[in-house]
Amino acid sequence: GHGTQPLYDLAVSAGGETVRKRIGLRYIEVVNQPDAIGRPLTVRVNGVDIFCKGANWIPTDALPARQEGRYEQLILSAKTANMNMIRVWGGGQFEADRFYELCDEHGILLWHDFMFSCALYPADAEFLAEIAAETTHQVKRLRDHACIALWCGDNECVGALTWFKESRDSRDRYLVDWVRLDDTRGGAARAADPTRTYWPSSPCAGPGDFSDTWHKDGSGDMHYWSVWHEGKSFDAYYAVKPRFCSEFGYQSFNSLESVRTYCPPEDFNITAPTMEYHQRNDGGNRRINEMFSRYFRMPKGFAETLYLSQVQQSLAIKTAVEYWRSLRPQCMGTLFWQLNDIWPVASWASVEYGGRWKQLQHHARRFFQPVAAVIHQRVDGEAGEIVEAWAINDTAHEADLAVELALWGFDGAPGAAETLRARVAAGSALRLGRWSATHFCVDDAARQNRFLHVTLSGTCGGQAVTHANTHVFTEYKRCRLADAQVVAKVDGATLTLSSDKPAFYVMASAQTGGEFCDNSLTLLPGRPRTLIMRDQHGTAMPVGDVAVMHLRQTY
């Protein structure tokens, strides 16, 4: 999203041996000096502050021999979805060389944890010597890759000091052990690579500050899990303003196409033994179902349940990302949990095991677009319930934009429309308007019968830009959705979708190995959409048989 990634062939010969590498030239900083709020975490590349957009990375396969073969598909999936950063999680592994080469080639920055996660580690001399050796080896192996933005000591090991009886009973002892561990790996990392920031732990407020950044949002990176683990509503994302949120997530089930690969038809029920075995988070299915009851009408069948779980996951992550992006420059990073899966399982991933995109990955392609328009509806103190429209521009160029806010009835009747025009500076977010919620819906009946369709168009850096968004004014379960009839016509590599009434989260599924250029979208009457099926390299391929589902069909 910030230009090309030129790489240069380098050959160094000495004593009859030659080493060959492809290197990229750039200057990278992590800005963490105190400001009026706390301490930021801003990645700056060649003098440009980058809003980091992406996801967390776990090993690609439970069987190590198959892992490397999945790299390219996943890296290209991240790039296609407008991600510019991946966090290599400390509960995983250092990846093979090809992973880092692909990130160099495709412009994917890496937040790279060392491999310590969620545990208490010893600090005896023998173990610390192993840590120093491993850190030195891995940093020297990887330091010439332009993609690596920072080294991070561990995942949640500071938090783990409060998780176990042993560490709660002897906190001083285990805190000293962690400090010795961190001094060892931090010293080794800085000695082997003095050009990069060493970040002690994720989450933390920064070097020397290990306050509770699960719940305090003013400094460093935050892990925000109150929605999934604590069961808070999606509106809870509006209550925090992270400087950089490096973990947050919401689960969904796999698509029916993927479920068929491991579940027999007689177990097509989410509480059947096979489906429960493919859910490794205690209470995960219960959380998904309970949240259904808050936002949606309960699905009528198994296929509808799988589909609706992906709608719900998309809504959760979209709510957080769009709000946090509008806080720029206070917030400068959103990395959701997680990009990929290690086996076919209900999880927080946006790409299923095997490479099929969940609905979340399609929404990420839109909500991570460099130039985008977003709508927030939230309670704001004495002002009460308000609606805000924002334009976001992550590029290095000014954007000249027109954003249309058009009211529609769920019955398909168009209502009032307003166009807001603005010049949005490079690397900024601009509030286009702020209204009381009653400006759009004077009463509850209006909330149940209308929605807002948002269309952005304009130019940025000499290029045309477009973006579309949809906002409903109440929970979908309360909306009077029309029983839309969606028609799908296939012609080679193209699929044309049309509808007689507004249809939401329209998801087209094919058996081929490609992905549509867009999916899980809003379809308006009289405005057909043509989608192109492409393989992982962007080449058009035949669509084949296709199935389509939209939100109203789930009940």
Residues belonging to the active site: 156, 247
Match 């899990």 to its residue by tokens: 225
Contact 233, 316 (CB under 8 A): no
Q: How far is CA 76 from the centre of its chain?
A: 15
Count Cβ atoms within 10 A of the Cβ of residue 3 and give its class: 0-12 exposed, 13-18 middle, 19 or more buried. exposed
Contact 259, 317 (CB under 8 A): no
- Which of 340, 380, 337, 379 has the alpha carbon at shortest distance from 356? 340
Helix (H, G, I), strand (E, B) or coil at 160: helix
Sheet holding 28-31, edge to edge: 28-31, 42-45, 48-50
Residue 423: left if φ>0, alpha if ψ -120 to 50, beta else—which one?
beta
Strands (E), 312-384: 333-336, 371-379
Sheet holding 546-549, edge to edge: 521-523, 503-510, 546-549
Q: Could you tell me what percentage of the chain is helix, strand and coil, using 3-state DSSP and rounding each to the nearest 5? A: 30, 30, 40
Count Cβ atoms within 10 A of the Cβ of residue 94 and give its class: 0-12 exposed, 13-18 middle, 19 or more buried. middle
**Which DSSP letter does residue 441 get?**
-
Contact 490, 503 (CB under 8 A): no
**Which DSSP letter does residue 267 get?**
G
Contact 86, 59 (CB under 8 A): no
Upper half-sphere CA count for residue 29 (Cβ side, 13 Å):
9
Distance from C-alpha of 321 to C-alpha of 367, rounded to nearest angstrom: 7
Dihedral of CA 281/283/288/289: which sign?
positive
- Which of 225, 227, 274 has the alpha carbon at shortest distance from 253? 274
Residue 257: beta bridge partners?
Answer: none
Q: At what angle do helices 302-326 and 359-367 cross, to 10 degrees?
A: 20
Contact 358, 351 (CB under 8 A): yes
Q: At what angle do helices 284-295 and 302-326 cross, to 10 degrees?
A: 80
Distance from C-alpha of 386 to C-alpha of 473, rounded to nearest angstrom: 11
